[in-house]
Structures are given as C-alpha cells and as structure tokens.
C-alpha cells in the first residue's frame, strides 16, 4: 500500500493544490506530535498507518483529507462560520475542494462518521452539514467558472 498511497497522495495533492493555486508539500510519514493527519502551515502529514487504520484508500477521501488539512492554514481564514471554527472551516474547505473538482463527498462523510469527536472535533452530523455547504458552493463555483 505504501507506494500506491504515495502516488495517490501526490496526484490528489496536485488536484487540491490546483484548486488552492499553490503547491502542497505532503508527507505520508507520521509527524512526531500528531497521531493522524496534521499540518504546520507549510507541510501536510498524512500518515500511511492512519490511512490504513481508517480505510483511507480512495482518491476522493484523500483529496478531502488533504483539503481539510490545507483548510487549517491561512488560506481559509476568510470563511465565516459559527462554532468550533477551526475544524469546521477546514471541513467546509474539504467539501469546497470536492465540489470544485466535481467529486462526491459521500465517502468523506462516511469517514467523518467513523472518526471520534471531542472538544476540538465536533460531532459528525455537524461536520457533515458544513462539508455539504462547502461542496455545494464549490460545485456552484465550478459551474460558473470561478
């Protein structure tokens, strides 16, 4: 899975970077202080062991996870949302990137239902609604050529 995951991450990262208008630096190794995907604002870590544990093997889910992590960066600070805005802003952007690319959000929404919630990560249904809002906006922007 390692080589296939690296190729999938590279291709998906290029798609997300195209929507962002930037080149993403991505690693499939683990960050020393994170158990799962994370970013320091310049690089995104998407650990292969986390992907294996949660069944992250499809292009659409990898795109969404990378876009979510990119959403933690300064690129998405202008999205106005109420609540735990850091995670929801990142979720909105994951949905937006999927919509812009014309990719279904279904498998990413299923992943969110399986992931644990907590103080920094809202319940899956809340996150799902925000992903759907971002997806609808991204799809509309794509259709309008924005």
Q: Which tens digit of pLDDT belongs to each residue from 87-133?
A: 888 999 999 999 999 999 999 999 999 998 887 788 899 999 999 99
Higher pLDDT, 74 or 32: 32
Q: Supply the pTM of this predicted model.
A: 0.86
What whole-number distance in Å separates Cα of residue 17 and Cα of residue 36?
21
Q: How many helices (H) and strands (E) does the chain have?
A: 6, 3
At 74, is the pLDDT very low, low, confident or very high (cuts 50, 70, 90)? low
- Taking the CA atoms of residue 71, residue 109, residue 7 and residue 23 in that order, the dihedral angle to the nearest 10 degrees is -20
Q: 84 with 120: CB under 8 angstroms?
A: yes
pLDDT in tens, 25-62: 898 888 888 888 988 878 899 999 999 999 998 999 99
What whole-number distance in Å separates Cα of residue 122 and Cα of residue 92?
13
For residue 1, pLDDT over 50 is answered with: no
Helix (H) or strand (E) segment spanning residue 67 = helix 59-71
User: What count of other Cβ atoms lies within 10 Å of the Cβ of residue 38?
Assistant: 17
């Amino acid at each position: 899975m390692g080589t296939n995951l690296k190729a999938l991450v590279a291709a998906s990262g290029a798609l997300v970077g195209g929507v962002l208008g930037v080149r993403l630096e991505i690693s499939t190794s683990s960050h020393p202080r994170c158990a799962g995907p994370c970013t320091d604002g310049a690089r995104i870590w998407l650990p292969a062991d986390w992907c294996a544990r949660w069944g992250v093997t499809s292009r659409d889910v990898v795109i969404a996870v990378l876009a979510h992590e990119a959403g933690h960066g300064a690129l998405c600070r202008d999205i106005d949302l109420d609540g735990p805005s850091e995670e929801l802003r990142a979720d909105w952007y994951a949905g937006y990137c999927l919509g812009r690319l014309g990719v279904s959000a279904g498998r990413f929404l299923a992943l969110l239902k399986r992931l644990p919630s907590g103080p920094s990560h809202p319940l899956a249904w809340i996150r799902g609604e925000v992903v759907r809002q971002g997806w609808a906006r991204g799809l509309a922007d794509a259709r309008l050529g924005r």
